[in-house]
A and B are shown apart, each in its own frame.
Chain A
């Protein structure tokens, strides 16, 4: 696999005929549409998953670990029984896990810049955001994988959502849509920070308070006032509330609207900041 032998091709001599013919045959196609360029970049993300399947570890093993850990750690103490707690926890842990893996988006962008691949993309005459939108398409696949993993393990452990198949699918769809919007924060950091490690550091610093100081694990009623205020303005709380309501079969229009609107706001702000940085680099 990892042999780097040059042996079979070291006798290569560039031939004027073949190389010249290739150059002369260079018909000039029209640049692709914005959509087609984005989908092509999405295809690149899928190829990377094919060649480096280990990168799916974080969307399979990590969520399984999260579900098992928190279900059994808090289940008995907080809700009296594991199964009962799971009905409350699962939508929340789903949101937490998927939001947490959005940070890999920023790291991926940063690695591409470091390796010089982005320089090549940026000299192409294509719709400017395509490379990033395409990378996010690949990430959407990862979010769906993570959601499916969590759902399956939840169902095995006794999660019985009253919203049925439709409610669960709508919940996942809303979460994936929000995560797509949320990821633009990380593409911005990925372009902005110097190294992959600093992207990771910043992500962790934002993610931990955001996911833990929320309504994922416990209802905010017992928290001190100042903390409750934070929890109530925390976007994750709203996403969790909306996803919970959909999976429970009692859609909360207010929360769902909140999530969709804040998603659009995130794209508007961080999408444009990202593109500014991307063009300025």
Chain B
């Protein structure tokens, strides 16, 4: 077993009557990206805040590289960095001023802090925006300056709390690339997200959190296998052929074929046991059977299982994002 970067046992945080984090056990191997997946209000942010020494657990223990987050908080603080869900740099200051400020607070002398800031701004493509106030940055730029601020001193553990929420696809891809580079340099990344595909893209292990509890843990493959491998969406040329297509797909793939609202479209669940490959084989078999039955397919796509599907499979309720939304925002305000 490799060294553990983060280890928690029975971690609890209570806000009034809500048990925001309710007995969470995590083991995060060093040097990997670990995904914590769950809807708003599941307790992700609360858990991360405890690990980053921002709030005190009401029960259980948490260690970062063997150091207790409560008793050895200073030692933990010297190893971790946090990029929160909300901007955690000063919006009134320019990008450069923010980085120099934080560099100074980490102990760099002024010239070293300036040099470090310039290097980071260049590496994050923000040199042109160095002297602009952060409040005038776009969402993607803001997230990049936030991450840059977190690696002024290369951390052993980087917490990224929903780093791509609210970003456009291009900015999201940039953040993903940045995370990959950071982890390749040896930093352990704990990433919280609401998107299964994000956890799938980046994380080597994922914990699914719901209502303060870990309800599933494993590699992305194991997790998806527990839900089914996803679905194939098919668009036919001719709406009249849809009933035939339905019976063909049901024969090939078994149950789980649905007619969509669109009169020429159908969706069929794939049951690939543990791999995307198996799902792809099933899909191609389904398509060739459709062709053999003389049904013209205009268009098809393979869909990953969504977070909602994961939740439906793991719990008996959908991942409603606003059911307990208020508890998440309260943590941030508190």
Chain A interfacial positions (CB closer than 8 Å to B):
1-6, 8-10, 12-16, 18-26, 28-32, 36-37, 40-41, 43-44, 47-48, 51-52, 113-117, 119-126, 130, 194, 280-281
Contact = CB atoms under 8 A, between A and B. Distances in A.
26 contacts: A1-B136, A6-B141, A9-B141, A12-B144, A14-B123, A19-B123, A19-B182, A21-B119, A21-B123, A23-B185, A26-B151, A29-B107, A29-B112, A36-B104, A40-B105, A43-B101, A44-B93, A47-B97, A115-B86, A115-B87, A117-B89, A120-B88, A120-B102, A123-B81, A124-B77, A281-B334
Contacts of A4: 136-138
B49 to A, nearest CB: 8
Contacts of B108: 29
B284 interface: no
B96 to A, nearest CB: 11
A33 B96 CA distance: 23
A244 B189 CA distance: 60
A116 B88 contact: yes
B84 A3 contact: no
Contacts of A43: 101, 104
Interface of B: 49, 52-56, 74, 77-78, 80-82, 84-94, 97, 101-102, 104-109, 112, 119-120, 122-126, 128-129, 133, 136-138, 140-141, 144, 149, 151-154, 170, 174, 177-178, 181-182, 184-185, 187, 332-334
Contacts of A48: 90, 92-93
Nearest to B101: A44
A18 B184 contact: no
A175 B307 CA distance: 59
Contacts of B78: 31, 125
Given A31-B78, A119-B82, A123-B54, A20 B185 contact: yes
A22 B120 contact: yes
A28 B97 CA distance: 20
Nearest 7 interchain pairs by C-beta? A12-B125, A26-B154, A29-B107, A6-B138, A120-B88, A116-B86, A14-B177
B111 to A, nearest CB: 12
Contacts of A3: 136
B151 A22 contact: yes
Given A14-B181, A44-B101, A48-B92, A31 B82 contact: no
Given A3-B136, A43-B101, A8 B128 contact: yes
A229 to B, nearest CB: 40
A16 B181 contact: yes
Given A1-B136, A123-B80, 18 more contacts: A4-B136, A4-B138, A6-B140, A12-B125, A14-B125, A14-B174, A21-B119, A22-B123, A23-B187, A31-B78, A115-B87, A116-B85, A116-B86, A120-B149, A124-B77, A125-B106, A130-B105, A194-B333
B304 to A, nearest CB: 24
A40 B181 contact: no
Contacts of A19: 123-124, 178, 181-182
Contacts of B128: 8-9
A36 B133 CA distance: 25
B138 A20 contact: no
B54 A119 contact: yes
Contacts of A115: 86-87, 90-91
A24 B185 contact: yes
B92 A22 contact: no
A117 B105 CA distance: 14
Contacts of A29: 106-109, 112, 153
A21 B91 CA distance: 27
A96 B106 CA distance: 39
Contacts of A22: 119-120, 123, 151
Contacts of A130: 105
Contact of B182 (A23, A41, A114, A119): A23
A13 B123 contact: no
A113 B88 CA distance: 10
A31 B109 CA distance: 11
A109 to B, nearest CB: 13
B136 A2 contact: yes
B52 A51 contact: no
Contacts of B151: 22-23, 26
A78 B184 CA distance: 77
Contacts of A13: 125, 174, 177
A24 B185 CA distance: 7
Given A9-B126, A28-B153, A43-B101, A125 B184 contact: no
B153 A116 contact: no
Nearest to A117: B90
Most buried by B among A1, A4, A194: A4
Nearest to A15: B123
Nearest to B149: A120
A116 B92 contact: no
Nearest to A36: B104
